[in-house]
A and B are shown apart, each in its own frame.
Chain A
Amino acid sequence: MIKVLFFASLREQLDEASLEMEAEGLADLGAVLMRLRERGGIWADVFAADQTVMMALNQEMTGTDTPVQDGDEVAFFPPVTGG
């Protein structure tokens, strides 16, 4: 299983802080994002191709072509605004 976390405006829009996803058939973070988009409704809107969504794999910021495997922690969030 892959653990998927959502933060800030994404968490609020999706009304979901985290979920688990079967790792099988998921090559990379882009595939995880596609599977979330396929849930339709607000998920399709939040993960639409024209949305700026940042992502992390095992707590390191990365991009859609990063491979994922069973046991990974994935996170999606809007651009950061700290400081």
Chain B
Amino acid sequence: MNEIRIQSEPFDPNIEVDILRAGNPAIGGVVSFIGLMRDINEGETVSTMTLEHYPGMTEKSLQTIVDEANQRWDLLGSRVVHRVGEMKPTDPIVLVAVASTHRGEAFQACEFIIDFLKTRAPFWKKESTPEGSRWVDARHSDDEAEARWKL
């Protein structure tokens, strides 16, 4: 019901959402967020991106975030899928999908999970640009997004 997956292979967000909602007539709504790789960042063209993670800790931290979401809201299931390794523009990087009886809880839980994933889950992006490769800097706006939830 709550699935967390980290993988180097591409994934299809639609299939993930179909699996999440399949076979449970109590689900009244699914909210999903799909993070995509952009071909431009900080004004530079990005040809490929490589994502590094901390095996073990990344899975644990995502589990903690999903558990917290389940404590805050009445959910009927969730799926978090995150790519690692090399990817190209337009590839889905992350999917957060949450099912609930009504939309309100699903919207909030989905946003909560992606906000905390951004600031707490150990993933690091490295971009390849015409100027060479560079590690992506953390954004202050992500800390502000997390702070809204007041843990």
Contact = CB atoms under 8 A, between A and B. Distances in A.
Interface in B74-102: 82, 93-94
A83 B93 contact: yes
Contacts of A75: 54, 57, 122
B124 A7 contact: yes
Contacts of A43: none
Interface string A48-83: 000000001001110000000000000101111111
Nearest to B57: A59
Interface in B26-76: 35, 51-54, 56-57, 60-61
Nearest to A58: B57
A78 B123 contact: no
Nearest to B119: A80
A37 to B, nearest CB: 21
Interface residue tally on A, bucketed by range: 10 to 19
Interface string B105-147: 0000000001001111111111000000001111100000000
Majority secondary structure of chain B interface residues (helix, strand, loop or mixed): mixed
Contacts of A7: 52, 54, 122, 124
Nearest to B121: A82
Contacts of A77: 54, 122, 124
B125 A81 contact: yes
A9 B126 CA distance: 9
B60 A82 contact: no
Contact of B54 (A5, A9, A81, A83): A5
Q: Which 9 A-B pairs have the closest CB atoms?
A: A82-B123, A79-B138, A8-B124, A59-B57, A83-B118, A9-B135, A81-B136, A81-B125, A83-B117
Interface of B: 35, 51-54, 56-57, 60-61, 82, 93-94, 114, 117-126, 135-139
Given A80-B120, A82-B82, 5 more contacts: A61-B120, A78-B124, A80-B118, A80-B138, A82-B124
